[in-house]
Structure 1
Amino acid sequence: MSEPPGATIAASEAPPAADEPSKPLAAQRVLPLRRPGRWIATAVVLVLAAQFVHGLVTNPFYQWDRFGYWFLRPTILDGLVITLEVTAYSAVLGLLGGIVLALARLSKSPVLRAVSWTYVWALRSVPLIVVLLFLYNFSALYKTLSVGVPFGPAFFSFDESKLATDMVVAVIGLSLNEAAYAAEVVRGGILSVDQGQHEAAAALGLPKGYQFRKIVFPQALRSITPNYVNQLIGLIKSTSLVFYVSLLDLFGSAQSMGSTYPGDIVPLLLVVTVWYLILTSIVSVVQFYVERYYARGATRTLPPTPLQKLRTGLADLRARIRREAAV
Structure 2
Amino acid sequence: MSDTVVNRSAGTPPNGAEPTPGIKAIRLRHPWRNVFAVVLLLLVALFVIDAAQRPAYDWPSVGKFLFDQRISQAAFVTLQLTVYSMVIAIILGVTLAVMRLSPNPVVNSIAWIYLWVFRGTPVYVQLTFWGLVGTIYQTIDIGLPFTEPWASYPTRVAMSAFVLAIIGLALNEAAYMAEIVRAGLLAVDSGQEEAATALGMSWAQTMTRVVIPQSMRVIIPPAGNEVISMLKTTSLVTAIPFTLELYTRSRDISAVTFNPVPLLIVASIWYLFFTSILMVGQYFLEKRFARGIGDRRPDRKADEATGALTGIVPVVGGGQATVVLPPKMPENPPNNNNNNNGDVR
Scaled by the length of structure 2, what TM-score is found? Answer: 0.75
Equivalent AA in structure 2 for residue 145 of structure 1: I
Corresponding residue for residue 114 of structure 1: 109
Q: Which runs of 5+ in 1 are unaligned?
A: 1-29, 303-327
Size of the aligned set, in residue pairs, is 273
Matched, 1:254 2:250: yes
- The aligned amino acid for 1:212 is M
1:59 and 2:51 aligned: no
How far the C-alpha of 1:297 sits from its partner, in A, is 3.1
CA contact (8 A) 2:162 2:242 kept: no
Corresponding position of 2:204:
209
Query: How far is the alpha carbon of 1:180 from its aligned partner?
Result: 0.6
SS at match of 1:157: strand
Give a deviation string over 1:21-76, Cα, whole Å, max 9, x none.
xxxxxxxxx98633221122112111111111111212121100010001000010
Structure holding more helix per residue: 1
Instruction: Report the equivalent of 2:13.
Output: none
Q: Counterpart of 2:91?
A: 96
Match of 2:201, SS state, is coil
CA-CA distance at 1:296 after TM superposition: 1.6
> For residues 1-327 of structure 1, what are the structure 2 equivalents within 5 Å?
33-152=28-147, 154-244=149-239, 245-262=241-258, 264-300=259-295
Distance across 2 between alignment mates of 1:50 and 1:140: 53
Separation (CA, whole Å) in 2 of partners of 1:136 and 1:33? 61
- 2: CA distance, partners of 1:291 / 1:33: 32
Residues 190 and 31 (structure 1), Cα distance of their counterparts in 2 relative to 1, 3 Å cut: closer
Taking structure 1 as the reference length, what is the TM-score of the superposition?
Answer: 0.79
RMSD between superposed Cα atoms in Å: 1.9
Local SS of the residue matching 1:158: strand
Map Cα deviations across residues 107-126 of structure 1 (whole Å, 9 max, x no partner): 11111110111101100111
Q: C-alpha separation between the residues in 1 aligned to 2:225 and 2:237?
A: 20
Matched residue type, 1:255: R
After superposition, give the CA deviation of every residue in 1:231-276 in whole Å (9 maximum; x if it has no partner): 01110000001123133101011011011111x2100000011111
Identity of aligned residues (%): 38
Q: Which runs of 5+ in 2 are unaligned?
A: 1-24, 298-345
Aligned match of 2:320:
none
| Other structure's SS at 1:145 match | strand
Q: Which amino acid aligns with 1:291?
A: E
